[in-house]
Structure formats: structure tokens, C-alpha cells
Structure 1
Amino acid sequence: MTSSAATASQASDLNPQPEGPPPNPNPRKPRLALPAGACDAHCHIYGPFDRFPLPVDRSFTPKEAPETALRHLHERLGFSRAVIVHSQGHGFDHRPLLDALATGQGRYRGVALVRPDTPPEEVARYAVAGVCGSRFNFMTHLSARLSNDAISDAIRLIRPHGWHAEIHVGGRQLLEAEAFIRSIEVPVVIDHMARLDIAEGPDGPVAGAMKRLLDTGTVYVKLSGPERLSKVGAPYHDVVPLAAGLARHAPERVLWGSDWPHVNLHGPMPDDGDLVDLIAEIAPSEAARKLLLVDNPTRFFGFV
């Protein structure tokens, strides 16, 4: 049994109650018509639990949100491609992700959780299946953070496959990690606009660090998670100055993701139709939206 599936068959009594509410079951259809080939560059799946029970090494307990529900959502919103990011809700059991990649038949790419002790043959198997990156959490509520040396060791495992490193940081953690991110010798993407405090404004220190990293030419940022950053709530207009500023600064190195099913969010669940319509304010022109939703993800994630 591979390391990622070692505990998959064990039913867990750890955190048995799901943490946070389920996603909006009936999001409205967006007013914004998305370009053909639009990609949701950051989403997750959980379950189905009768096939993929939650393992003991998970860091939180999600509600069930299988690939079938994700596909239904994307058909309603107008997405034909997506990047499924493996989540600590399934620990290191990657079977749900691998199953979704096989089901999608090219519709999806995947992001795994690779550690220094992940067997190289397991990484190679993930690559064949359609995984194209590994996520590294700096957020302590999701897992014990790997040291920079350990992340570097894991990156040595993924580099031969042409993968990227996905960095999940919170606010001013980015300032501490900026030099290390610059040292990473594979392409990098920063999740959720670094989850910064938007009270600092679109030109604050964390936003400045993101722009400096974007200027390297090898770092991208996901303009996702406005529901986590907003101070005023839906439809999250207070996040637009930050997201639109990043899109203007580096239009060829921005990506967009829904972050569905919005786990570990304890406020009101967003309407995913609102999130899609916000794209029109972040990227006002058709050309900018095509870069954000089609051209950039096609190039970065290797869609064909």
C-alpha cells in the first residue's frame, strides 16, 4: 500500500462532526458569460465517503462534496476545466483526486500533497494521472508546517516532472517567506492572494511582496477567496481593488479559482454566482478575462 493510502481504509473518530456549513446548494446562474475553455483553477473534492472514507491523518472534517457535485456546479457556472487541489480533509490519501482525474478525461488537472518521504514512484504515478503540482501549507490550522529544507527536498521530487509549487500562506507570512519563494527552482503560485488583511489596502506590504514576486516572471497568484478576505461580505466588492490591481500588474500571471466547497469558512457560505460575476470587476475587458480564465491556466497547468 502506498504512503498516501496507508490509512485510507481506517474509519476515524477524530473530529467526527463536519467543520463549517456546506456550500450553497443552489447558486444562481452568473450574469457574466465566461469564455470558452474557462478554468476554475482552485477547487476541492471530498468523497464520496462510501468509496473514500476520511482517514485518520486528516487535519479537519469536511462535508461530502464529490466530483459529481463539482461538475454540476461548473456546468451551471460555465467552466469546462478545473484544477482540483488535494486537501488535508482527506489527509494524504490521494485516491479521490486520482479517481476524479480519471473520470474527467482531460477536464481536470490535479495538485497533490508531496512530502520529502513520498516515494518517487508515487510522484511519477501522480504525474501520469494528471497531477501537475504540489501544495505546501504555511497555515498551521491545516497541518504541521514543513521546514523550508523539507519543502526544498519535496520540490526535488516534483521538479523532474515539470510540476509547480503551490504556496498557501496567510498575510504577513508572505513577507517572511518571500526570500524562500524566490529561491524555489520551479514555477510557483500563491494561493488566495496570500490571504492578506485588505485593511492594509491594495498597496500595502503584503500586496507589495506579491507584486515583487510576480515581477520575477516565475510566480503566479490565484485571485481566489474574496469571501475569506472581505470585511463587508457578499458580493465582496471591497476585495476588487486588490484583485484588480494584481491583474493589472501582471495580467499574464494571474489565475482565478472558486475555492469550492469553501471549507473551514464559518461565516455565510458564498453564492458561487456572485464569485463569478465579481470576475467582471477584477478583469473588466474580454481580453483580460481570456488571459485570466483560459490562456494563463492552459499554459501554467499544461492543459491540452
Structure 2
Amino acid sequence: MDLRMTAHRAATPPPPEPTCPGPVETPRRPVLELPRGSVDAHCHVFGPVDAFPYAEGRAFTPPEAPFGRLLALHALLGLDRGVIVQSACHGTDHSALLDALARGAGRYRGVALITPDTPPAAVQELHEAGVRGARLHFTPHLGPAPTTDHIRAVVDRIRPYDWHIALHVAGDGVAAYEGMIRALPLTVVVDHMARVDLAQGLDSPAVHALRRLLDGGRVWVKLSAADRLALRPPAMDDAAGLAAVLAAHAPDRVLWGTDFPHPNTHGFMPDEGDLVDLLAVIAPGPADRHRLLVENPVRCFDFEPAG
């Protein structure tokens, strides 16, 4: 036995104890066959922490979900490309994201966490690596909402690269921040169907605000996280119904993603095969799915055209 290797293993600390569960270990292959060039427009990579440590003071600690596992999942589901969203658990250290984008060799784009302290040279490096957006959190479990000055500084950092602003809101947030969203001078992508409260129905102020924003022409929405919105999991038909309404309302500005590995989820954990098969409800026809999964992501995230 190599004593040096033994000593290295002994010196490597174990990964931190997770505070939330990991994804389904063996997701099933979906019944629905996806079109060539399909994009998972919202997913994450976590760790491995010995190479890419989690941020100090993070709000949650997920199990490791490195890039290799994401690749294997996408192969199983029939997804050829993806958009990796920087998670709060990695903070503003984008090392794991940059590594994944490099290994993806053009098949992946990224969304970063930019702050007023992010140097312009770092934004340029992220852009050259394939990042095309900056995410802002307006969800209390991830910390205080960004101030007006913070938002302005982020916009100034990313405007030269024509990135989008990704907004993470929940509950009535999309209605509360409607004015701010309209005032942003960049394309806006609202994550996870704005995480509206489906207990209020599809006629709620939040759903109406989201539809009004889509009517403006600069706002997009990700039809992701059906598992987070569903009122009676494992059934997700109510969330799929909302997604179908939004897809019909603004077919050219909707995107779809798995949200793998479903960070900071407690309770129901979806099988990604089930999430893919919900696309038969969300985008019923082949042309609908091609637009949602291929054409729209190409325009929004600056991918090369499929094929």
C-alpha cells in the first residue's frame, strides 16, 4: 500500500453534513422522447467539496452533486445541453461552475451570483466561460433581499455583456416586485414560475402579475420546480397546469428545467423522469416541445443552434 496515498486520504476531511436531502438515487428513464438539442434550463452542481468547498455562512448544505452526475442524468433523460445556475451554497466562488462549463465544452451555459464587489475582470472571465445571466434572490430563506443600490451595481456590471437578470421570488413576490422588474433595463428571467402559491388558484394576484410581465416582451419564465409548487405531491398536475397556462400565454418566452438536484428541498423529492413526462401536459405537441426545449433556450442563453 502507498503510505503517501493513505496519509492523504486520512488528511482529507469528510464532506460537511447535509441539511437537506439529495435527489432520487436512480431516476427512471422518461417515456417522453425529447427533441434533439433539448436544454435543461435550470440545474446546479455541488462540489465535490474537497475541490470546490461550500461557502462559509451558507443558508443550507446540500449533498454533493458534481458535474459528472449531472451529465449522467442528462444522458438518461435525453437532454443534450443545460444551464447551470450558481447556488447560494457556493456563494460567489464560481470555481465549480467554471469547471463544469469548461468540461461541458460548449454544451452548457451558466448563471452567476454577482455582487457590487465583483471585479469587472471576473465578470469578463465568467462571460468568456459561458455565463449569460446574474441571479438575484428575493427569498427570505436565502437572506435579505438586495437593495436598490445593489441591483443597480449588478446591472452596471453585466450590462456590457447583455446578460439577463434571473429573479428568484416566491409567494406574492412577483406581484410585490412587479414595478422593480418592469424598471430593469435588461432581459429578466423569472425562476420556477415565480414559486407562486397555488393554494390561491390561477386567478391570484401573483399569477396575474406574472402574466402582465410576460406581456411586456422582456420577461421570460422558467416552467421549472413543479415539485415545489404542487399542493398534493407526488401528484404535480396542479403545477403542470400552471406551466401549461404560461406556455400558452407566452410560448416564445418560456423555458423548462429540472432544478436538479432540487436544493434545499424538504419532504417530497421528485423523480426527474416524472418531471420530463409532465412536458406532455405543459407542451402537448412536438412543435410546442421543440420551441420550449430547443428554440427558446438558444435565443435566451446564446447557445449555438441545434444541429
TM-score, scaled relative to structure 1: 0.93
Pairing of 1:43-192 with structure 2 (within 5 A): 43-192=43-192
**What residue number does 1:4 align with?**
none
Matched pairs, number: 293
Q: Is the Cα contact below 8 Å between 1:137 and 1:169 reproduced in 2? A: yes
Three-state SS of the structure 2 residue aligned to 1:294 is: helix
Give the alignment's Cα RMSD to 1 decimal. 1.6
Is the alpha carbon distance of 1:211 and 1:288 closer, same or farther for their aligned partners in structure 2, counting shifts above 3 Å? Answer: same
**CA deviation digits over 1:201-221, x for unaligned, max 9?**
223211111110001111000
Amino acid at match of 2:202: P
**Bigger shift: residues 194-203 or 74-83:** 194-203
Alignment partners' CA distance in 1, 2:117 and 2:103: 28
**CA deviation digits over 1:245-294, x for unaligned, max 9?**
00000000000010000111111211000000001101101111111100
**What residue number does 1:8 align with?**
none
Amino acid at match of 1:227: D
Alignment partners' CA distance in 2, 1:298 and 1:202: 29
Q: Is the Cα contact below 8 Å between 1:42 and 1:257 reproduced in 2? A: yes
**What residue number does 2:23 align with?**
23
Alignment partners' CA distance in 1, 2:13 and 2:111: 24
Three-state SS of the structure 2 residue aligned to 1:141 is: helix
Alignment partners' CA distance in 2, 1:260 and 1:34: 17
Alignment partners' CA distance in 2, 1:29 and 1:12: 35
**What residue number does 1:295 align with?**
295
- Could you tell me how far 1:92 is from its partner in structure 2? 1.4
Is the alpha carbon distance of 1:281 and 1:64 closer, same or farther for their aligned partners in structure 2, counting shifts above 3 Å? Answer: same
- Could you tell me how far 1:12 is from its partner in structure 2? 11
Three-state SS of the structure 1 residue aligned to 2:28 is: coil
Three-state SS of the structure 2 residue aligned to 1:136 is: strand
**What residue number does 2:202 align with?**
202
Amino acid at match of 2:292: L
Q: Is the Cα contact below 8 Å between 1:59 and 1:91 reproduced in 2? A: no
Identical positions, percent? 52
Where has structure 1 moved over 6 Å in runs of 4 or more? none
Alignment partners' CA distance in 2, 1:190 and 1:91: 20
Alignment partners' CA distance in 1, 2:263 and 2:27: 16
Q: Is the Cα contact below 8 Å between 1:201 and 1:242 reproduced in 2? A: no
- Could you tell me how far 1:62 is from its partner in structure 2? 1.2
Alignment partners' CA distance in 1, 2:19 and 2:57: 16
Compare CA radii of gyration and give the structure with the larger one: 2
**What residue number does 1:257 align with?**
257
Alignment partners' CA distance in 1, 2:214 and 2:148: 20
Three-state SS of the structure 2 residue aligned to 1:40 is: strand
Q: Is the Cα contact below 8 Å between 1:88 and 1:143 reproduced in 2? A: no
Give yes or no for the alignment of 1:239 onto 2:256: no
Q: Is the Cα contact below 8 Å between 2:20 and 2:60 reproduced in 1? A: no
**What residue number does 2:6 align with?**
none
Three-state SS of the structure 1 residue aligned to 2:258 is: coil
- Could you tell me how far 1:49 is from its partner in structure 2? 1.4
Alignment partners' CA distance in 2, 1:80 and 1:22: 23
Q: Is the Cα contact below 8 Å between 1:191 and 1:221 reproduced in 2? A: yes
- Could you tell me how far 1:57 is from its partner in structure 2? 4.0
Alignment partners' CA distance in 2, 1:241 and 1:254: 14
- Could you tell me how far 1:238 is from its partner in structure 2? 1.6
Alignment partners' CA distance in 1, 2:220 and 2:21: 30
Amino acid at match of 1:81: R
Q: Is the Cα contact below 8 Å between 2:138 and 2:169 reproduced in 1? A: yes
Q: Is the Cα contact below 8 Å between 2:110 and 2:131 reproduced in 1? A: yes
Structure 1: state its 5+ residue gaps: 1-10
Q: Is the Cα contact below 8 Å between 1:62 and 1:263 reproduced in 2? A: yes
Amino acid at match of 2:110: G
- Could you tell me how far 1:147 is from its partner in structure 2? 0.8
**CA deviation digits over 1:67-106, x for unaligned, max 9?**
0000000000000000000001112110000000000000
TM-score, scaled relative to structure 2: 0.93
- Could you tell me how far 1:16 is from its partner in structure 2? 4.3
